[in-house]
Amino acid sequence: MTLELSLNQQPAHARQGSSIGQPLTRRDGFLKVTGGARYAADNHPPGMLYAVLAVSSIARGRVAALDTEAAKAHKGVVEVMTPKNRPALAIDPDAKDNPFMFRLDLLQNDQVRYPNQSIAVVIAETLEAATEGAALLSPRYEALPARVGLDGAKSFVPRGVGIGGPAVQHKGDVETGLRSAKTRIEATYETPAQYHNAMEPHAIVVAWDGDRLSIDTPSQGLAMAQGRIAGLFGIAPENIHIRSPFLGGGFGSKGMISGPQVLGILAARLVGRPVKLVLRREQMYGPVGHRAPTRQTLRMGMDGEGRLTAIDHHARTASSTFDDFFEPAADASHTLYASPAIATSHDAVRLDTGTPLFMRAPGEATGSIALESAIDEAAHACGMDPLEFRLRNYAEVEPMTGKPFSSKALRECYRQAAETFGWASRPLQPRLMRDADGFLTGWGMGTATFPALMFQAEARAVLRSDGSGLMETGAQDMGQGAWTAFAQIAADGLGLDIDRVEFRAGSSDLPNAGIAGGSGHTATAGMAIHNAGAAVIARLADLATGNEASPLFGAGNEGVLARGGRLYRRDDESRGESYAEILMRAGLTEIEAHGKGAPDPASQETYAKHAHGAVFAEVKVDPDFGQIRVTRLVGAFAAGRVINPRLVRSQYYGGMIWGISFALHEEAITDRRSGRIQNANLAEYHVPVNADVPSVEALLVHEDDPYVNALGIKGVGEIGITGTAGAIANAVWHATGVRPRRFPIRIEDLLG
Amino acid sequence: MTKIPVYLDINGHHHELQLEPRVTLLDALRDRLGLTGTKKGCDHGQCGACTVHVDGERVLACLTLAAQAQGRTVTTIEGLAREGEMHPVQAAFLEQDAFQCGYCTPGQIMSAVACIREGHAGSDEEIREYMAGNLCRCGAYPHIVAAVRQAAQEVAS
């Protein structure tokens, strides 16, 4: 992939280079493999104290008493922060001005509204003393009955789902479509509450200096975090400096600043010294978000040729009693399969849990496993191969809106993945394949999809008279590879070798890079970098083409191209000069320019923009004991331009492994009597270990998209989980003849 | 709580600390010695992020009291590279992209070094089994297996 291609939508300056598309190893890799990468909790400013949360062991009620004296009497304990002495805030933590402002539990009163809610903070000279002090608080509660489960409260239709989309949508008449169908299916699927469980617990190291704040904390959105803290404390955002060079995973749970992180800031305020507060693993099951449970009912009708006549997708979900986030599961049916009639609807209950939040592919993951299972059921009801059925119902335009796709290489994904997997030899009926050891073997498939989103970002580019460049943007690397991919885009944007580019990110004093979420960070901040590079090259070209002493004089801005630290005449590449020469002649040590990344409103209106993929799974099931092992996964994904195939493959693998986890492992179990989570730890909340993950293959399918953005980037971070979970469920059916309808799939469901 | 003297031999350096007996090896490394490469993921011995070597064997530093390591040889991720040269396992992790967020990586690498030394890197299946004590939420497992396989071959040759 040459750079002329990457820039052919930016005619002002064609630049050539070789960074974009190269499988570079991670630029932060050396630090990460040697223990030198400094995560938030690795910081230790002088005079620092340790803060430990005490959290509620009931789901609903009030804290009647805390033995603060016992805690304070413990040697090393400096202070105990409770609602009685918590420093004042400028605004009510329950105030909500916009949908992205989530209500926080900051010791504003003695009420308990979910298990593991913060009820006090113990601050001590050592971690051990703070931990023991928190245990000595021995809270007494007045508890009320907990509202648990998807039938645990009166249901209602939320005003909006996800980021505010309509809860109920339709096109055509689903009932007419179902009546006219030759074949119909109806099925209900349940998905559990899941917790992000990034390996790095939420942590904050914070120091006050007057009304200025110095903070180390993992954040997927530095500017949003800065703004939220500024609002809570009534100080100017620019007085708050947040560093987040590395996140130990985020998956959505570090998108918004959480209550415990703010409590760390309050604790530092209270004691007048720097404070470190790190969540204990069990404390991550409440105040830092989760994926809400769903119960989804799908109805589909098909004509005599297996064409869908109607899709009706209803999802019941849950939010907390005090805030709104509604998992938009049914919306998964908007984009994948052609049907003259589609209806999607949501309702919800309010439960005594922490507020659910975005978790890797929010709505898409939950909706996908139900939709892909139902499509498989529909194919079987029509006596068709699941791939043939999906191709029969292939959406040439976005089904819900009728908009053309900006690009869609899904057919090629199906073809490549099916061929690599060997799908053609699959028997139609279940329970027909066994391996040499007698294990039931099944093959299943699913379609993957995720929207190509963009948000807002800014970057600053500098060219220096020594011939080097600088690119700055407050981008966040939570493992997706921002340090590397953005440096690649910066190098090409500046027309420099990557080793001549200094790239700065991960700090709130840099230009706002927007949020690392929605699989939109590379596209958004990448375009800001790209545009900042183009802008600074344009300034440089102006200097050269306007100066008679330059070999580029008179070439005009459009007549110049930038490559390898030199500008050349487009019509005569033998004529050119280096950036350094241009700047030195102009008597400048450096020039700078800014760039923005944002979705193009016109193409937003015209096109449906999604990444696509196809995933094929093989499972083996013990015929006597029902134990399921995934033995093979092949995915093929088309997501526009690939900046770095080495890193992109890792993202696909990660997503696909989350798919295994969704189908077979993850589930938070709530005790119906107490409302507490019974498995709030990494031993009993199952996530896949290395031995659970078989041979995984991810094929990168070429896709040019001229409309998503000038770089042609979609997003790769979340799509892998969609499609995969359903493919595994469908493979389990193919192995056993038993259709999994609740997730994770349990042995007892297979044994009947 | 009364402090006791604890003598620790870490990465070839001798340390004399005054610690309460309840201090874990993990917290001693991170909070007292500034060796923050070793990570805390769960503090319950469930995730493997805190894996270090004690007398050459992999040990969960969160389930080990600092005092238990007295008189023994402790190696952490910071002690693996020699004169700025990455250990073959570190180099293989970098080359195979065997990590994403990097938080579990020090523990994975310490486990991988021991896994190879134990003779448990003979096949992909064996690597998966003997690396199963180290959780990676990013899902880097296929690349971790590739890195361990590559490093095992390099160490053997």
- Report how far residue A597's alpha carbon sits from residue A535's, in angstroms, rounded to the nearest whole number: 13
From A583, A598, A613, the end of a domain falls on A598
Determine, yes or no, domain membership for A195: no
Bridge partners of A617, per DSSP, are: A444, A633
Both tokens of residue A584? Answer: 């030195």
User: B43 is in which domain, residue-wise?
Assistant: 4-79
Q: What are the chain B neighbours of A44 within 8 Å (beta carbons)?
A: 31, 34, 36
Q: How far is CA A185 from the centre of its chain?
A: 32
Q: pLDDT per residue over A499-544, tens digit each?
A: 999 999 999 999 999 999 999 999 999 999 999 999 999 999 999 9
Under 8 Å between Cβ of A520 and A449 = no
* Per-residue pLDDT, A17: 54
Cβ separation B105–A32 shorter than 8 A? yes
Cβ separation A653–B136 shorter than 8 A? no
DSSP secondary structure, A31-79, as one string: HHHHT----GGG---TT-EEEEEEE-SSSSEEEEE--HHHHHHSTTEEE
Whole-angstrom CA distances from A124 to A67, A82, A275 are 16, 15, 9
From B79, B106, B136, the end of a domain falls on B79
Q: Per-residue pLDDT averaged across A96-112, rounded?
A: 94
Q: How are beta strands B73-75 and B4-10 bridged, if at all?
A: parallel
Determine, yes or no, domain membership for A149: no
Closest approach of B19 to chain A, Cα-based (Å): 11
User: A681 is in which domain, residue-wise?
Assistant: 294-453+605-751
> What sign does the dihedral A667-A671-A674-A675 (CA atoms) show?
positive
Q: Are residues B63 and B99 in the same domain?
A: no
| Percent of chain A whose predicted confidence (pLDDT) is above 70 | 98
Q: Are residues B62 and B16 in the same domain?
A: yes
Instruction: Find the closest chain A residue to B132 by CA distance.
Output: A690
From B27, B50, B79, the end of a domain falls on B79
Closest approach of B128 to chain A, Cα-based (Å): 5
Q: Which of A479, A658, A690 minimises the CB distance to B145? A: A690
Q: What are the chain A neighbours of B20 within 8 Å (beta carbons)?
A: 126, 128
B interface mutation test: which of A128, A646, A690 has the most B CBs within 10 A? A690
From B62, B79, B96, the end of a domain falls on B79
Q: pLDDT per residue over A454-499, tens digit each?
A: 999 999 999 999 999 999 999 999 999 999 999 999 999 999 999 9
Q: What confidence tier does A3 reach under pLDDT thresholds 50, 70, 90? A: very low
- Report how far residue A494's alpha carbon sits from residue A537's, in angstroms, rounded to the nearest whole number: 7
Q: Compute the mean pLDDT over every residue in chain A, rounded to the nearest whole number.
A: 96
Does residue A9 surpass a pLDDT of 60? Answer: no
From A598, A629, A664, the end of a domain falls on A598
Q: pLDDT per residue over A411-435, tens digit each?
A: 999 999 999 999 999 999 999 999 9
Q: Which of A126, A647, A658 minimises the CB distance to B97? A: A647
Look up the CATH number of the domain holding residue A58. 3.90.1170.50
Closest approach of A589 to chain B, Cα-based (Å): 35
From A578, A598, A618, the end of a domain falls on A598
Tell me whether 0.95 is exceeded by the ipTM.
yes
Instruction: Find the closest chain A residue to B145 by CA distance.
Output: A690
For residue A611, give the 3-state DSSP assignment: strand
Q: What are the chain A neighbours of B142 within 8 Å (beta carbons)?
A: 653, 693, 695-696
Q: A 259-278 residues with CB below 8 A of B?
A: 278
Determine, yes or no, domain membership for A176: no
Q: Are residues A469 and A522 in the same domain?
A: yes
Q: Is A425 exposed, middle or buried (0-12, 13-18, 19+ CB in 10 A)?
A: exposed
Q: Are residues A234 and A103 in the same domain?
A: yes
Enumerate the active-site residues of A: 718
